[in-house]
Amino acid sequence: MLACGVDRAYPARHTDLITAIGQAGVIVSEQPPGRPVSRVRFLDRNRVVAALSAGTVVAEAGLMGGSMHTARDAAEIGRPLMAVPGPVTSAGSGGCHLLIRQGDAVLVTCGADVIGRLIGTMEQD
């Protein structure tokens, strides 16, 4: 998922990787070809990522930033939201703790927790 047109590689050092993904899979963007990257387009991209994903895991997120925007987007559309916080004393984990405290996200500690949450959620739908 790109925050620019599909004909652009960002960051440029990932050109070979993005080309390989395009040859074996699919490159997705809301932006028209030729559109450059901009800060706000990352938030747009994250909204689409949340929509295309079965669930979202937020790891060590602060109170502000792209991860929290993605978490809000996932919650708004009813996608399972999970969090892996760091220490309660870390400002870099404040967002995860807030999501869990508010009941927006469930605590996960390993991949099996994530899979279990996604399978459990999918069975309810």
pLDDT in tens, 65-77: 889 999 999 999 9
Residue 26 belongs to a domain: no
107: containing domain: 54-124
Torsion of CA 22, 2, 17, 24, to 10 degrees: -20
Residue 65 belongs to a domain: yes
Residue 98 belongs to a domain: yes
pLDDT band at 123 (very low <50, low <70, confident <90, very high): low
Residue 6 belongs to a domain: no
Residue 120 belongs to a domain: yes
More confident residue, 120 or 112: 112
Give the pLDDT score at 95. 93
Residue 30 belongs to a domain: no
Instruction: Summarize pLDDT for 26-48 with one digit per residue, the tens.
Output: 888 889 999 998 888 888 888 88
SS3 27: coil
Give the pLDDT score at 121. 66
Residue 19 belongs to a domain: no
Short-list 104, 110, 41, CA closest to 75: 104
* Total domains in the fold of the chain: 1
Paired tokens of 43:
């938030």
Whether pTM exceeds 0.85: no
Residue 7 belongs to a domain: no
Phi, psi of 42 (to 5 degrees): -65, -40
